[in-house]
Every structure is written in C-alpha cells, then in structure tokens.
Amino acid sequence: MKYLALGLLLMASSAWSQVEIEKPWARATAPGSKIAAGYMIVRNQSASADRLVGATSPAAARVETHVHIKDGEIMRMREVKGYDVPAKGRLELKPGGAHLMFVDIKQPFKEGDRIPVVLSFEKAKEMKVEFHVGRLAAPPAHHKH
C-alpha cells in the first residue's frame, strides 16, 4: 500500500513538472570548512519561464543561492533571491558563476557522498535531487567570500 501511494505520487509530480535537473554535483570541502558549493543544470521544457526560489538540505543549516560578481580583480560571492529559468531554456550553475551555497554544513562533504537537496521552484514546486560530491579543487587564490 505504501509503495502504491509513492508510485502515484511520483507519477503525479512528473506529469506536471516540466523542469529537469541534470548533473547535480557539489564540491568536496576542505577540512574545517563550513560551506560547500553545489552546481547543476536546470532544464525547463515548459513554454513558460520558471524560477528557482530556494533550496534546503538536511546536510546544511541553510542553502543559499549565490552568484559571483567581479569586484575589480576580486571575484566575490553574493546572495541573490533565486534564479530565473527561461521558457524552453536552461539555467547552468557552475564554478565561477551561479551556485548553491551550503552554509553551516553538518559534516565535511567527501568525494562520493550524496547530498539530498530539495529545490523549490515557483511553478514546478518542490523537487528532490541528490548532489554527488566530486573532487576537492583548490579554490583560485583571489576567490574571497
């Protein structure tokens, strides 16, 4: 009975959700780091634009939506109130650009971990996604938070 209910729920959500998430991944964290960055591609099949308005994860106290802005020679991160996903288009979160910021992570993100995240869209509503933790890369020297 439980499985049947879940199956119906999945069918129902995929029927009206025209947003797909591709390659969700997060960066492994350095020892002692309390933040981690997450990236993905959001594809919108719908003829109307949507908007990613926020995210939550049990792995972090909160998940913020950030962009990088160039401040002279320094790249800084800034919090924004979500991202637009164009109709029949895509939004790419990638290193050096827009990203999800996991703040106050409960434990380090290690390569191979899977981080559960719930994404909230204005129209597509909530989507559950698992972010795969990739390799730790040394951040660029001029990258300041």
Interacting residues with Cu ion (CB under 5 A): 66, 77, 101
Cα-based distances in Å from 133 to 26, 44, 63, 79, 83: 5, 24, 16, 22, 22
Residue 108 structure tokens: 């380090």
Q: Residue 15: how many CB atoms within 10 A of its CB? A: 8
Rounded to whole angstroms, the Cα distance separating 21 from 55 reads 13
Total Cβ atoms within 10 A of residue 50:
23
Instruction: Bin 27: left if φ > 0, else alpha if -120 < ψ < 50, else beta.
Output: beta
- The nearer residue to Cu ion, 51 or 143, going by C-beta atoms, is 143
Q: How far is the CB of 34 from Cu ion (least distance, A)?
A: 12
Nearest residue by C-beta to Cu ion? 66
Nearest approach in angstroms of CB 94 to Cu ion is 13
Q: Please, what is the minimum distance in Å from the beta carbon of residue 93 to Cu ion? A: 11
CA distances to 18, 36, 96, 137 from 28, rounded to whole Å, are 30, 7, 16, 8
Task: Please say which residue, 20 or 64, places its beta carbon nearer to Cu ion.
Answer: 64
Nearer to Cu ion among residue 7 and residue 140 (C-beta)? 140
119 or 124: CB nearest Cu ion:
119
Smallest gap from Cβ 118 to Cu ion, in A, equals 19
Q: Which is nearer to Cu ion, 77 or 124 (CB)?
A: 77
CB of 100 to Cu ion, least distance (A): 8
